[in-house]
Amino acid sequence: MMIVALNHKTVPGATEATVLGPFFAHGAKEYEYGADLREGASMKGEDVYVSGRVLSLDGKPVPNALLDIWQAKADGIYDVQTEGEFELRGRVKANAKGDYAFKSYKPKFYSVPIDGPVGDLIRATGNHHMRPAHMHAIVSAPGYQPVITHVFVEGDPYLDGDAVFAVKDSLIGKYRKVDDPAEAKRLGMPNPFIRLDWDFRLAPDAGVKARKAIAPSDAVA
């Protein structure tokens, strides 16, 4: 998170960055609008429909963005921590109007691995080893600065004490329960289901160059 703070200074109005974490993987399957990331999942969770827009800082839709999405399974373990196929992971394409949508499971809180030096470090601090529930996303589009971020779950018991200090208030999403058979049918979801509406806002590439140009004097200060 210190590296994020140094290298990804917040651009006002843009989605904030947070830690990449060790569980990102290249080469996830590409999906179109409305994709089902629950495909092939080895365990069930709470069904969630995630949708929203990718926008520029002035609120205009960013066409054809790519959302690299990943999250832990219902047992708090990521697919890449065990043998087997990718799970709850995909590269979801937003459409030409900037809209994206996919189906997944609601994330749950989990423990960071504590069987190695990270566990020793956390025990030495006296802190707990839990991370609040979150979905990971890297959102990118031509002409814009990509953002590595999370969407956390409002009401999660560990929001105030994330073991890796990655929570930012602007990244906490409201997962709301929907009990509407017609809406469920329209979206191809079971009823009831959970819905997350979430917009990502990207800063233009030009902003990155301008901030890089002033970085040396920042360092001296």
137-164 burial, b at 16+ Cβ within 10 Å, e below that, comes to: bbbbbeebbbbbbbbbbeebebbeebbe
Using the minimum distance from each CB to Fe ion, give the nearer residue, 155 or 181. Answer: 155
Stretch that binds Fe ion, among 15-23, 100-108, 160-168, 174-182 (CB under 5 A): 15-23
Q: Which two tokens stand for residue 12?
A: 């006002």
Q: Which of residues 76-105 bind Fe ion (CB under 5 A)?
A: none
34 or 146: CB nearest Fe ion: 146
Tell me how many residues contact Fe ion (CB under 5 A): 1
Which two structure tokens, joined as six digits, stand for 142?
């031509």
Least Å from the CB of residue 134 to Fe ion: 6
Map residue 140 onto helix, strand or coil: strand
Tell how many helices (H) and how many strands (E) occur in the chain: 5, 14
The interface region with Fe ion, picked from 13-21, 159-167, 187-195, 208-216 by CB under 5 A, is 13-21
Nearer to Fe ion, 2 or 219 (CB): 2
Encoded one letter per residue, x for contact with Fe ion by CB under 5 A and - for no contact, window 16-35 reads -----x--------------
The count of other CB atoms within 10 Å of the CB of residue 177 is: 9
Q: Are 129 and 163 a contacting pair, CB within 8 Å?
A: yes
In this complex, which beta carbon is closest to Fe ion, that of residue 54 or of residue 153? Answer: 153
- Contact residues for Fe ion, defined by CB under 5 A: 21
